[in-house]
Structure 1
């Protein structure tokens, strides 16, 4: 491979990686803006169409201010990162429980997990012989369109 071709491919790969990261950040920013607008709309509805600075401030950063207050008035990077990570994993856990919970009681049991496994197994066992053969496995190694644990479109639900 010529050096210029190699450099061009490397640039394309780098641009793709940066673009993917930028898309993810833009998507997260859009969700944050949407959440902020929803909180401001709610505050305005609760106050007959206008809000004071204090109401605006509460709507904007109530959770962040609570974290600061819960940590003695100061919040370190590590404390904020821990809180963000906990919130992220709690959301992930909610999606997992919702996906597996057959009784709708908000809990996860071994029966729920086994039931889900049986459902997926039955979908993969295309010839219904009680065994999954290599040619019955998805070609791309993914079971449905969802990313693992993302709560996205799951064609096996």
Structure 2
């Protein structure tokens, strides 16, 4: 195997590792494969059915190459870690905005938060009496096992 081919494969492997870590949430490998296949499919469509190594490399490593370029041509472990953390938190922030944004303008206001809280409260207040009782909380899952709601087997002794 030629040295350039080995280097290219090593670079692709590194980019794959970086990408996988950046999406290290639920089903990270599956999301990574889907993203990779979507980028490759788009590159192939844009190039009349075939792609060269340079096109493949561009489709696979655009973010990583930009990160290297933005940092003077070299990356340290700390710079890669910072970029991965930023990417992870940006994804989380996008999900939060999408979940709460009632106007669809990509911003979050106090009214958006209050609106979301009212919806969740209404769902939990199963008997519509304007109060949430321990018996109305789900058994387990996201709400039912929280310590402050007595989900630890204390029968609500430590509810606040």
Deviation at 1:108, TM superposition (A): 0.6
Q: When the two structures are superposed, what TM-score results if normalisation uses the length of structure 2?
A: 0.69
Instruction: Map 1:57-96 to 2 at 5 A.
Output: 57-96=57-96
Q: Any idea what the Cα deviations from partners look like across 1:51-89, whole Å, max 9, x if unmatched?
A: 122111101111111101111100111111110111111
Q: Gaps spanning 5+ residues in structure 2: where?
A: 1-23, 145-160
SS at match of 1:107: coil
- Please tell me the root mean square deviation across aligned C-alpha atoms, in Å: 2.1
Counterpart CA distance in 2 for 1:112 and 1:59 is: 37
Instruction: Map 1:139-154 to 2 at 5 A.
Output: 139-140=139-140, 142-143=142-143
Residue aligning to 1:33: 33
Q: Any idea what the Cα deviations from partners look like across 1:100-155, whole Å, max 9, x if unmatched?
A: 111111111100110111111111112221111111122215249xxxxxxxxxxx
Deviation at 1:26, TM superposition (A): 9.8
Instruction: Map 1:3-152 to 2 at 5 A.
Output: 27-140=27-140, 142-143=142-143
Shift in CA distance, 125/27, structure 1 to aligned 2, threshold 3 Å: closer
Aligned pairs, how many? 121
Q: Please, which moves more after superposition, 124-133 or 82-91?
A: 124-133
Q: When the two structures are superposed, what TM-score results if normalisation uses the length of structure 1?
A: 0.70
Residue aligning to 1:6: none
SS at match of 1:142: helix
Shift in CA distance, 26/109, structure 1 to aligned 2, threshold 3 Å: closer
Q: Gaps spanning 5+ residues in structure 1: where?
A: 1-23, 145-157
Counterpart CA distance in 2 for 1:120 and 1:79 is: 39
Shift in CA distance, 75/143, structure 1 to aligned 2, threshold 3 Å: same
Counterpart CA distance in 2 for 1:27 and 1:131 is: 37
